Structure 1
Amino acid sequence: MHYVTNCGAINRGRGVVLLLLASLLSGCLALPQTGLFAFRLAVTSLGVEEVRIGPYSLQAGLDTSDLSSLLVSSLGAGSLSVQATLAMGLGLPAGMPAVEMSGFRWTLDMPGVEPVQGQYQQDVMLTSGDDAKLRLPVAFDIFATDTQRMAPMLDLARQLSSQGELPPGSELAITPGDLRGLGMTLPAGLFTPTIRLNVGEDGRLIPQH
């Protein structure tokens, strides 16, 4: 009987030790994950540069008062392509550890045109206080045959070239790729949800919740 009692005490002791080890291990694993699980991507700037409309290469800030009539005469019965570069700053909130993001998917919805989307395929190093400067190609066509849609498209093209910024009401969505940092990797979509931003009347970036 004495032998059985000791075995029971030993088994209980082992159970306590295993429980403590499990708690310690789970605590150690949770510490490096905390920063990644709380991942927040910050779009710190958003501008438009290198605008090209058909054969015309335009610089932001130039007088474009005659641009609409010029584009209409160039359209004829065909179409004009509008190409621009979206300059974007990406960073992390203060205090977050640096991570490497394996690219991202993006969608830009501007008033008057169909949404434009693409895939940024390069790795991006993200740190707090030192934003990554990225360039995204944006392109759409102005069709002369669609008279109802031609006017807002022309207005959009003129605003992109004259002001160098996205028009109010635009929406940008970014879906981050895999995240690597703190000795681990988080697969895309697991703890990295799509980030959506609106462009306000004064050009401010307004996160959607």
Structure 2
Amino acid sequence: MMLTRLLPRRWRLLAPLCLAALLGGCLAIPQTGLFAFRLAITSLGVEDVRIGPYSIQAGLDTSDITSLIASSLGMGSLPVQATLAMGLALPVGMPAVEMSGFRWTLDVPGAEVVSGNYQEEVTLTSADDTKLRLPVAFDLLGADRSRLAPMVELASQMASQGELPAGSELAITPGDLRGLGMTLPAGLLTPTLRFAVGEDGGLTPQR
């Protein structure tokens, strides 16, 4: 009471408004930020594995294809290409959120780290998984024989099992998030999310 009397009249009028705005901001921002923190990858598979012009099939004799690829290495690019089939979702009961794409990084044991940008709008819900595809490529340009053979084996393993090898890590940095009538800019309470692939192909969120 004494403090209120000591404050100038204009500050007594502004104080309740400032307090209300502060509390509203403190409540709204974390509520929207939780969408990014609780984003889940529900599935992660590997499709359409190729090495240059060669499609890698399950049971392929990799010794033959290694010789063919080694002889074709020249001045051009010779990538191991694949498509990551991924499902994204929110926890049960959370309202739908629009995400303006995301940056991603994939670290596979024995291969170079690759990254890219998914630039399409993504609708995230708790009712259904959102299915999307990420094209990835590991460049074999200039690889010597000792490095080439393990990369061919990696491609064959991904094609035959339809999943990333254990120890792989996928990182996602969300873009802008829109939900509950507000927008949370990328980078504000939306840190990079990391998921590790286990021995059974399952995904474990990393802190």
Is the pair's TM-score, using the shorter chain for normalization, greater than 0.5?
A: yes
Q: Does 2:115 correspond to 1:121?
A: no
Q: Which residue of the partner structure matches residue 65 of structure 2?
A: 71
| Structure 1: distance between partners of 2:153 and 2:179 | 44
Q: Which residue of the partner structure matches residue 206 of structure 1?
A: 204
**Secondary structure at the counterpart of residue 38 of structure 1:** helix
Give deviations 1:45-86, integer Å, cap 9, x for gaps.
100011222322245xx323x1x1121121233434321110
Give deviations 1:65-122, integer Å, cap 9, x for gaps.
x1x1121121233434321110000111122221111100001111111111110000
Q: Which amino acid aligns with 2:203?
A: L
Q: Which residue of the partner structure matches residue 182 of structure 2?
A: 184
2:52 aligns with one of 51, 54, 77: 54
What's the CA shift for 1:22? 4.3
Structure 2 residue runs of 5 or longer lacking an equivalent are none
What's the CA shift for 1:183? 1.5
| Structure 1: distance between partners of 2:131 and 2:105 | 18
Alignment CA distance shift 1:198-1:86 (3 Å): same
Percent identical residues: 62
Structure 1 residue runs of 5 or longer lacking an equivalent are 1-7
Judge conservation of contact 1:82–1:139 (CA < 8 Å) in 2: yes
- Alignment root-mean-square deviation, CA: 2.5
Q: Which residue of the partner structure matches residue 112 of structure 1?
A: 110
Judge conservation of contact 2:50–2:155 (CA < 8 Å) in 1: no
**Secondary structure at the counterpart of residue 77 of structure 1:** helix
Alignment CA distance shift 1:20-1:81 (3 Å): closer
Greater shift in the superposed pair: 199-208 or 142-151: 142-151
Q: State TM-score, norm by structure 1.
A: 0.82
Q: Which amino acid aligns with 1:72?
A: T
Q: State TM-score, norm by structure 2.
A: 0.83
Alignment CA distance shift 1:137-1:20 (3 Å): same
| Structure 1: distance between partners of 2:127 and 2:166 | 27
Q: Which residue of the partner structure matches residue 148 of structure 1?
A: 146
Q: Which residue of the partner structure matches residue 97 of structure 1?
A: 95
How many residue pairs get aligned? The number is 197
Q: Which residue of the partner structure matches residue 35 of structure 1?
A: 31
> Runs in 1 of length 4+ with deviation above 2 angstroms?
17-35, 53-59, 76-81, 141-145
What's the CA shift for 1:167? 0.5
Alignment CA distance shift 1:152-1:27 (3 Å): same
